[in-house]
Amino acid sequence: MRIAILSDTHSKQSTVRTALDLAARHNAELILHCGDIADAETIRLFPPHTHFVFGNCDYEREEMEVAVREIGGELDPAWACIERAGKRIAFLHGDDPGRLHDLEHADAFDFVFYGHTHVAKEHRTGKTRVINPGALCRAAVKTFVVLDLPSGEMERIVVR
């Protein structure tokens, strides 16, 4: 199973469209959005197999919740935990450093994904691989990640 991890799209719909096209070309079966979507119209660009969490710049939450239901996606306001291909995954925006620290150090997840910083990063804490996919707005290089869950192979995709 291949998943795409995006964050910090901040209503940049043309960039989101390009990223979603690239995710489809990389055969992503699931999309995780780590917050700072910013509006309901941007959510409506996403396919049904998308899971969202809110970020600190997601102010229109009621309208965004409606849009997630309309597309058939999933939304967890603060953070989410899912299991796919035998891997436990947590994802959140990352603006709450205490929560990020707790999830990273829980020794309960194979992966923790987060955004907020607009800086792509990756490291390991115990068994947990912690990945920030970068941002699709306000970043020197706009990036997201496609991850093959069974193998753990990750590709950072640059969006132009």
Instruction: Show Cβ contacts of residue 130 under 8 Å, excluding neighbours closer than 6 positions.
Output: 104, 111, 112, 113, 114, 121, 122, 123, 124
Closest CA to 18 of 157, 133, 134: 157
Q: Kindly report the number of other CB atoms within 10 A of residue 44's CB atom.
A: 15
Q: Give the model's pLDDT for residue 60.
A: 95
Task: Please report, rounded to a whole number, the percentage of residues in the chain having pLDDT higher than 70.
Answer: 100
Q: Give the confidence band of 121 by pLDDT, cuts at 50, 70, 90.
A: very high
The predicted model scores a pTM of 0.97
Q: Give the model's pLDDT for residue 105.
A: 98
**Do the beta carbons of residue 140 and residue 3 sit within 8 Å?**
no
Q: What is the mean pLDDT of residues 94-110?
A: 98
Q: Give the model's pLDDT for residue 39.
A: 97
Pairing, β 87-92 against β 111-113: parallel
Q: Give the model's pLDDT for residue 55.
A: 98
Q: Give the model's pLDDT for residue 81.
A: 97
Q: Domains in the chain, ordered, with CATH?
A: 2-158 (3.60.21.10)
Q: What is the mean pLDDT of the chain?
A: 97
Q: Which residue has the tokens 């192979």?
A: 153
> Per-residue pLDDT tens for 17-68?
999 999 999 999 999 999 999 999 999 999 999 999 999 999 999 999 999 9
- Enumerate the β-bridge partners of residue 156: 145
